[in-house]
Amino acid sequence: MALVSLHLPDDLVEQARAADLDISGLAQDAIRRALDVHAVNEWLDDLASLPSLDIDPAIVKEAVRSAKDEFGL
């Protein structure tokens, strides 16, 4: 596992330690969430570059209704 330096304001570190928070774990979680958001944004950008489809909205509504019924929603 890599060791990196993380620069935080002194008061934030004091508060985190006083609350017995796992600073390393929190930083890892925050980085993972940021990477997930980045991946979703890239996926959305890729979708935006696809040609649009001419689909009847009524067909989409029926498919959503059917899926909801299937899952009991």
pLDDT at 36 over 90: yes
Alpha-carbon gap, residue 27 to 18, rounded angstroms: 17
pLDDT at 33 over 90: yes
> Looking at the whole model, is its pTM more than 0.85?
no
Greater pLDDT, 52 or 61: 61
In one-letter notation, the amino acid at residue 17 is R
Alpha-carbon gap, residue 61 to 73, rounded angstroms: 14
What average pLDDT does this structure show over 10-35?
97
